Amino acid sequence: MEDYYKQANTEEKDVFQQYINKYILFYGTTLTLTTAITFAGCLIVPLIRSRRFPLEIEYPFRVDYQPITAMLYFHQVLGMYQVTCQVSANVFLALLIWYTTARFEILTNKFRTVIKYSDWKTCIQEHQRFPLSVKIQYIIVCLTSLIKVFLCAWPADHLMRISSNVAEAAYDSLWYNQNIESQKIMLHTLLQCQRAVVISVPGLLKALTFQQYTSV
């Protein structure tokens, strides 16, 4: 990307600058807010919950004296900040997509101003030989993101299948040998257990399962 931008002419740089000016506020605000919320949480949580550190961690040694307290506090804050920085990986994927979009817009502008056959042929060749480096970066980021989702989809799918077996296991028990009151409680439990536990995001993800994962 850097090499292409350095070799780009004024019109091509203007296209890139238009995209930067249009979306820098949104992405800059998002990264700033996530970082600010993380540090705010580090400061507020200990005050609200009356504890020394932002995270509730047990250490195999005393932590109620300096400089151990300060060192551990800084260590936890740094760890939370590193987790927050994972947002940058998603922003990098967005950067690759916006860069690709800008390249296609530049190519579109070239097609519209083509006069000679040689220029038209050059545009076609440029369309066919899209930078391999960008494709590789995009594939790597996508694979990394898919692996992260898979690590969550696997236990979520297993949770759904195991939780659906509870009703069957309860029905196979000797509930019918109990008194009427116990049988009513068991029937109520069976009704409750018929619905499997499903992890979902309303309006975004219907169910986090292997089937949903492979259909995306």
pTM of structure = 0.55
Q: What is the pLDDT of residue 216?
A: 61
Q: What is the pLDDT of residue 134?
A: 67
Q: For residue range 98-144, list pLDDT tens digits in order.
A: 888 888 888 888 877 777 767 667 767 666 666 666 677 777 777 87
3-state secondary structure the chain: CHHHHHHCCHHHHHHHHHHHHHHHHHHHHHHHHHHHHHHHHHHHHHHHCCCCCCCCCCCCCCCCCCCHHHHHHHHHHHHHHHHHCCHHHHHHHHHHHHHHHHHHHHHHHHHHCCCCHHHHHHHHHHHHCCCHHHHHHHHHHHHHHHHHHHHHHHHHHHHHHHHHHHHHHHHCCCHHHCCHHHHHHHHHHHHHHCCCCCCCECCCECCCCHHHHHHC
Q: For residue range 51-90, list pLDDT tens digits in order.
A: 778 777 888 888 888 888 888 888 888 887 777 777 666 6
- The answer to whether residue 213 scores a pLDDT higher than 70 is no
Q: For residue range 1-11, list pLDDT tens digits in order.
A: 777 778 788 88
